[in-house]
Structure 1
Amino acid sequence: MWVRGRPQDNSDCGVMFSRGIRFFSQLCTQRYEMIGELLGREQHDIALLQEVWSEKDFLFLKRKLSSSHPYTHYFKSGVFGSGLAVFSKHRIQDALLYKYSLNGYPYMLHQGDWFGGKAVGLVIVDIFGLKAHVYVTHLHAEYSRAQDEYLPHRMVQSWELLQFVRHTSCGADLVVLGGDLNMHPQDLGNRLLRSHTGLRDCYTETDTFDGCEDGHTLIAANHFSKKQDLIPFEKGIRIDYILMKGSQKVSMKCESLSTTKGPVADKPYPYSDHEALTAELALLHSEDSRQHGSSNGEDSHTGMASKCLEHILTKTFISFLDLDTVIYLAVYGTVTGLPVFIQNILNCVPKTKEAFMGLERHGGK
């Protein structure tokens, strides 16, 4: 992802997904050269990239962008790195990495999710006097929509991601999250993320869109995309996102969003197997936002949270328990095994006891 801004209350935000495994990916060196040229030419304020697996490739981009993006951070995780990298025109004040507790299986050597150590990275940047918390992440791949054995992994990652954003974005004037969530817009993990954080999807919020049909970021026309990944979605899927949220000090509005459309001009191949995203965001200070009737979107997401929970919680008196704990343990227990799940449930005995006392007071109904 990359962000481009201007001191006037407008800023452009772009997201790019760079995928290059040195010695394995096709045309890896050439594509990093293209990405470096693009970032230097477009002058985005912040660039967030995923799947920069080789630190050598990161250092190449760092040298190439030293004048346009002098501030950088490379998030190291797992065996060969998280692949997450940040390039910024503005000084990075702080950075933090959280590695997801579930990351696939080590014996699935050909997939590499476990070895990469999927994670979320945070950089805190001062942009024109505003404190911006910018997140970049990459969740576990789906591989098969029909037989998705990694759905519990992405659910746990989604839950940990939203908790990380909630607890680290306090005090931020601007919050932007970009990355490959490997989830369709209406997938449960995606809706939980947006409903619990108040983050808004730039694709659904934008005034103007120019890009692939329905905002798809994985399309059949892309030279590097695996056609089996698109079954049964022949036209493509939207699994890469720019999410945003303002604050009481400033609100955010997406004025335009665009994606790349496969091959690059004058080149027979694209930047990556995923399409890059670019968004233009308007920043309105509190007085301006009231005049324009803008909001940060938290109220619009209040009802969404309860709808998401309906997919998991079906018992009336389950509300006596800590809902956050129940959701997380239910998914985590599915993956780690029944013994661990039971042990974690026992840790909630005080709340469980209170719930049963409530049931008894209501006559067990």
Structure 2
Amino acid sequence: MDTIQVLSFNCWGLAVISKNRRHRLSAIADTLTNSSYDIITLQEVWVQKDYDYLVEKLRYNLPHAKFFYSGALGSGLAIFSKFPIIATAYHRYALNGKPLKLLHADYYVGKGCATTTVDHPQLGLLDIYNTHLHGGYGPEDPYKAHRATQCWQLANLLRASAAMGRHIIMSGDFNSVPSSFNYKLIRNHGYMTDSWLQVHGEPDANGFDMNSLNSETYTQYFGFTCNSPYNTFSRYYSPSTDNIHAKRMMGKRLDYIFYSQTPQFTCTDSRVVLTDRVPGTDMSYSDHFGVVSHFTILHHPPSPSQTRPNRRKFNETQLDPTTVREIVDALVLDKMKAKRDADWLLGCFFSCIVLQFILLVIIVAVPTCVPETIVIVLVTLIGSLLMNFVSVALPVCLIVAFVFGRTEERALLQFIQEIETFQQNMIYSTV
């Protein structure tokens, strides 16, 4: 019986923005070098030099690696493997945020799903997926519909892999809690098993002993990987032993390792890792904790038919009809908002044309009607500045409204129609 150890970890490797990036990435590389992982999937490795450094450090333990390029700033996704990589692909998501949300920047990194196919000596072809879904950015979560479309695309990719009889490992930062329909799309429509949940079960807050509270028991019991009160980069972090945020059960489980379970291939252990401090410092390795899952491989499975994931009918799903309806409703609402936003920007475009004409008339007319030099100077200066602003705003409003706005609206419409068509013909399965 052989085993595979898989790690998924968000490194928080943004250039300039991420705190102590170089020192942390160096410490992460050292830790991974001294580990026995067979497959590592990383998110937020945004800097090419950081990836090159990881490749150099891991070249003996994990000689096969792939960095995935997308968008203006890169996908941030990397996969390292002990086993030979024989195929790679990057599937960019159709909806990826909004271009005017510069501080969110998801639009400019071209988020998607990185895939590699490795040749495993016992399993044969093993598909490894790695993704980082769009962030929520606040309690209102304005990108919930975008993440739903991303998960719909992702679930269909997983179903296609399963239809080819491949074993699958799906990992990454999903920016979605287990109660979200994004999670349900991956688990119930993509027919994936949540490895951590399989081992630990659903955590019961009432069953946790707050009197024996410490970082290890808290983290492993709830599986929180983000916004943990024991992560030094979390807004809930408290160095006090009497951690009030932990007692309020702050934190989220956003990082997952899913897989296609078969009698031959099953998860036996899963833990939250990289929870301690970077050696010699009082800071965490990242703003996320990592997840590692251990899988066992039987050399002699019960029967040949049980060595591969089940091949489902194309219209079969474990998504209940209520969840499907909720997804469609969310997309419809976002489509209406996308149309409103595009119409508003088009209104701004035409207003800018009128304003530009008015400013031109003022700049030309005032010097001929008003003799005071100071007035002429002020009108010319302010008018020129406003003209420059309007000249920039005009193409931006037109391009974002007409090109991106209409593209977003039609993409949402396409997803709505896809899901509604599937809904009309779906076969609800409980197994």
TM-score (norm 1): 0.77
Structure 2 gaps, min length 5: 202-215, 238-244, 341-405, 425-431
More helix by share: 2
Q: 1:252 aligns with which of 256, 259, 265?
A: 265
Q: 1:141 aligns with which of 128, 135, 140?
A: 135
Pairwise CA distance, 1:267:
3.7
Q: Specify the alignment match of 1:215 in structure 2.
A: 223
Q: Specify the alignment match of 1:96 in structure 2.
A: 89
**Residues 196, 305 of structure 1: 8 Å contact kept:** no
Count of matched residue pairs: 323
Select the structure of larger CA radius of gyration.
2
1:224 and 2:239 matched: no
1:268 and 2:282 matched: yes
Deviations 1:268-300, CA, capped at 9 Å, x for gaps:
21211000111111223673489xx9996899x
- For 1:120 and 1:193, locate their aligned partners in 2 and report how far apart those are by CA, in whole Å: 13
1:278 and 2:292 matched: yes
261-270 vs 185-194, which moves further: 261-270
1:182 and 2:184 matched: no
Q: Specify the alignment match of 1:337 in structure 2.
A: 339
Q: Specify the alignment match of 2:68 in structure 1.
A: 75
- For 1:234 and 1:106, locate their aligned partners in 2 and report how far apart those are by CA, in whole Å: 35
1:243 and 2:258 matched: yes
* Structure 1 counterpart of 2:125, one-letter code: K
Q: Specify the alignment match of 1:39 in structure 2.
A: 32
Matches within 5 A, 1:42-53: 42-53=35-46
User: Residues 334 and 284 of structure 1: is their aligned pair in 2 closer, same or farther, counting only changes over 3 Å?
Assistant: farther
Pairwise CA distance, 1:148:
1.5
User: Residues 9 and 343 of structure 1: is their aligned pair in 2 closer, same or farther, counting only changes over 3 Å?
Assistant: closer
User: Residues 216 and 207 of structure 1: is their aligned pair in 2 closer, same or farther, counting only changes over 3 Å?
Assistant: closer
101-110 vs 302-311, which moves further: 302-311
Q: Specify the alignment match of 1:360 in structure 2.
A: none
- For 2:78 and 2:128, locate their aligned partners in 1 and report how far apart those are by CA, in whole Å: 12
Deviations 1:80-104, CA, capped at 9 Å, x for gaps:
1000011111111000001111111
User: Residues 70 and 149 of structure 1: is their aligned pair in 2 closer, same or farther, counting only changes over 3 Å?
Assistant: same
**Residues 17, 275 of structure 1: 8 Å contact kept:** yes
Deviations 1:142-161, CA, capped at 9 Å, x for gaps:
1212x111111111111111
* Structure 2 counterpart of 1:113, one-letter code: D
Deviations 1:295-335, CA, capped at 9 Å, x for gaps:
96899x954444522535xxxxxxxxxxxxx7897477356
1:55 and 2:24 matched: no
- For 2:181 and 2:81, locate their aligned partners in 1 and report how far apart those are by CA, in whole Å: 32
User: Residues 68 and 334 of structure 1: is their aligned pair in 2 closer, same or farther, counting only changes over 3 Å?
Assistant: farther
**Residues 201, 242 of structure 1: 8 Å contact kept:** yes
1:21 and 2:14 matched: yes
Structure 1 gaps, min length 5: 1-7, 313-325, 356-365
Q: 2:99 aligns with which of 97, 106, 112?
A: 106
Q: Specify the alignment match of 2:385 in structure 1.
A: none
* Structure 2 counterpart of 1:144, one-letter code: G
SS in 2 for 1:140: coil
**Residues 126, 168 of structure 2: 8 Å contact kept:** yes
Q: Specify the alignment match of 2:196 in structure 1.
A: 203
